[in-house]
Structure 1
Amino acid sequence: MEITDTRDRKEYRFSVFTATYNRGNVLKNVYDDLLNQTYQDFEWVIVNDGSSDNTDEVVREFIEEKKLPILYIKKENGGKHSAWRVATPLFQGLYEVGADDDDRLTHDMLEIFDRQWKVLESGGAKLYDSFWEIRARVQDEKGKLVGPKFDSFFDSDYNEFCYKMGYGTLECDGCRKVSVLQNEAAVPADILFGHEITNYSECLRWSKAARKYKTRYIPDIVRIYVNTPFSLSKQKPNRKKFYTALVSSIYMVNEQEDLMMRYNKKSLLLNWLNIGYQNVRLKKMVLSPLHRFRDRLAVLCLLPIAAALYMIRK
């Protein structure tokens, strides 16, 4: 692992985090959007997760221009969860904001988050300590809001938002307390099939934090979703994607079964079915990591359906 650190102080208001893999041709867009931010008290933390393209050369050019404080980490490919694990202890910001390597940022993204955090900070310790995150909205390149509209801010938590309110698929951009990312919402040190997956589902981490802290949801637009033809999400499935889907469902069942039983039993059923389906695709049986006997039994009962689905889709 190689680290280049051009930061000139120990504290920033924001840490802007970009994990990137073979996206050297679009990183300049993120760089330009950060240069054009109306609020400039931030560091940019970039993790090159083993790219084989020109990402290293592109980032080196940013560093040589000396226009932004940059922490650049170049490492072997290990998935986005490994990029999070390396970067999070090194954040020097009070709050973290994600900047995906293929999306665009509004020029006032950081200004919006700064203004909202100041409202919470001025409300006293009891109010401020009860929150860990502010989530804003995303629109596509045509200006269409991604997901249903809400006109004013409201306070909730990630679990209630996803399960009780049914907004689990709504696209938002979060700004989070680094202290919580380093503790309650940290990437686990030991993950099932950790070297075989492309990512440890971030929703699992946000769900853990939500059991203790609230989120403020605001209607402001802070990110532009770009539907790129070379998006990693559109690559052909491979064994790593099968393992990623399997591991995600196993952890969902282990850690969020109470939420699914309370708010969305169908989601629990689909996760049981997915565990069976991914086992069929991988030609192995992984049930022991499930904590409860009833979950293992449920997967076994659904296995014939999972096998039939696999044969239909094959």
Structure 2
Amino acid sequence: MNEAKITIITPTYNRAHTLPRVYESLKNQTFKDFIWLIMDDGSTDATKVLVDQFQAENLMQIEYNSHQNQHKFITVFKGVEKVDTPYFMVVDSDDSYPANALELLYKEVSAVKNQDQYISVMGLSQYPNGEIVGHPYPGSGFDGSILEMRYRYKVRGDKFGIFITKTYQKLLKEFDYSPYLGKGYIPQSVFFNTYDAAGYKTRFVNKVVRTYHFDQDDASSVSNTRWTGKNTFGLMEGYLSFVNSYRRRLLRYPKALVRNLVGYQVYAMGNGIGFSDMQKKLKAFKGLALVLYPLSYFYYRKNKP
């Protein structure tokens, strides 16, 4: 039985130039009771050589797995399926973390009662200069849904946190991700929307637990390539998942509903999907989709590459 409390999952692809930043952050953590699980998504650079050097230093428990390139969405799930610690985090291969990040998150998630009703604890991200990414949560934070956080409280910006393994793995077993194999970039929200809409809670805390680094010149970064034509399938699925997961709850947030319906239709057009087939994929708001279709078509024609 593994006695560690947290598994740090790092999906990585050709990031030998940024992985040392993560390694240094983990070495400096005040909380040491963790495993670093590196999920190498078919890297062709010196990632394996670098990880061998990390392991040779013997400063932490490091597990390395390599497989054929499947993209981050699938790679994260493959990593989660290997976790046998009570909690886990998905740590990007190009960011860094305050020295007390793991300690703060473990303390917060350990204090959550009725953990079978919760999926995660989410904190804040900061830029290297200390500026908060986006907005803090209202007040001292709250327990609730991602939908509430984004659209009721209008909190923006990249967030970061820790997941409850038992809850996440249970939901992942019920989620069929096979349709996304070989499809390239898929937003993680395709899965997040399903469990958030099902009522699993997140605890949002106003504590900085991640430093976000934007590598402007890194052509391999999803942040820099997600809007290109090759990613239209994933973008379509992200918008569709939002509408199909939350359904009638979106009536409280009409702007978000319209934006996601139009986004779904625009990227469906980009994938060569006709209106009839678009409608078949929708589980709600088919009438509104019909009304919005001319707007979506105009937008698509105007912005088509």
TM-score interval, normalised by the smaller of the two chains: 0.7 to 0.9
* Contact 1:250 1:289 survives alignment (8 Å): no
- Letter of the 1:16 partner, please give it: I
Instruction: Please give the residue correspondences for 1:19-30 in structure 2 after superposition, counting only pairs within 5 Å.
Output: 19-30=11-22
Q: Does 1:273 align with 2:262?
A: yes
The verdict on how the C-alpha distance between 1:16 and 1:309 changes in structure 2, with shifts beyond 3 A counting, is: same
- Letter of the 1:219 partner, please give it: N
The verdict on how the C-alpha distance between 1:267 and 1:236 changes in structure 2, with shifts beyond 3 A counting, is: closer
- Letter of the 1:247 partner, please give it: E
* Contact 1:187 1:205 survives alignment (8 Å): no
Q: Distance in 1 between matches of 2:190 and 2:205?
A: 19
Instruction: Please give the residue correspondences for 1:75-114 in structure 2 after superposition, counting only pairs within 5 Å.
Output: 75-114=67-106
* Structure-1 residue corresponding to 2:39: 47
Q: Does 1:178 align with 2:169?
A: no
**Aligned pair partner of 1:57 in 49, 57, 64:** 49
Q: Does 1:243 align with 2:233?
A: yes
The verdict on how the C-alpha distance between 1:13 and 1:240 changes in structure 2, with shifts beyond 3 A counting, is: same
How far did 1:234 drift?
Answer: 1.2
**Aligned pair partner of 2:154 in 166, 189, 196:** 166
The verdict on how the C-alpha distance between 1:210 and 1:12 changes in structure 2, with shifts beyond 3 A counting, is: farther
**Aligned pair partner of 2:189 in 196, 202, 205:** 202
Q: Does 1:308 align with 2:298?
A: yes
Deviation track 1:124-157 (CA, whole Å, cap 9, x = no partner) reads x5x4444332111111111111122356243223
* Contact 1:253 1:290 survives alignment (8 Å): no
How far did 1:186 drift?
Answer: 5.6
Q: Distance in 2 between matches of 1:35 and 1:252?
A: 38
Match of 1:73, SS? strand
The verdict on how the C-alpha distance between 1:205 and 1:95 changes in structure 2, with shifts beyond 3 A counting, is: same
* Structure-2 residue corresponding to 1:3: none
Q: Does 1:74 align with 2:74?
A: no
Deviation track 1:151-210 (CA, whole Å, cap 9, x = no partner) reads 62432232322332222x332211110111101256822454542231243364255156
The verdict on how the C-alpha distance between 1:187 and 1:274 changes in structure 2, with shifts beyond 3 A counting, is: farther
Q: Distance in 2 between matches of 1:232 and 1:170?
A: 16
* Contact 1:185 1:206 survives alignment (8 Å): no
The verdict on how the C-alpha distance between 1:271 and 1:206 changes in structure 2, with shifts beyond 3 A counting, is: closer
* Structure-1 residue corresponding to 2:135: 148
- Percent identical among aligned pairs is 22
How far did 1:69 drift?
Answer: 1.1
Residue-pair matches, total: 298
Gaps of 5+ in 2: none
Gaps of 5+ in 1: 1-8
Match of 1:227, SS? coil
Q: TM-score, normalised by structure 2?
A: 0.87
Match of 2:31, SS? coil
The verdict on how the C-alpha distance between 1:280 and 1:156 changes in structure 2, with shifts beyond 3 A counting, is: closer
- Letter of the 1:267 partner, please give it: A
The verdict on how the C-alpha distance between 1:54 and 1:288 changes in structure 2, with shifts beyond 3 A counting, is: farther
Q: Distance in 2 between matches of 1:113 and 1:190?
A: 28
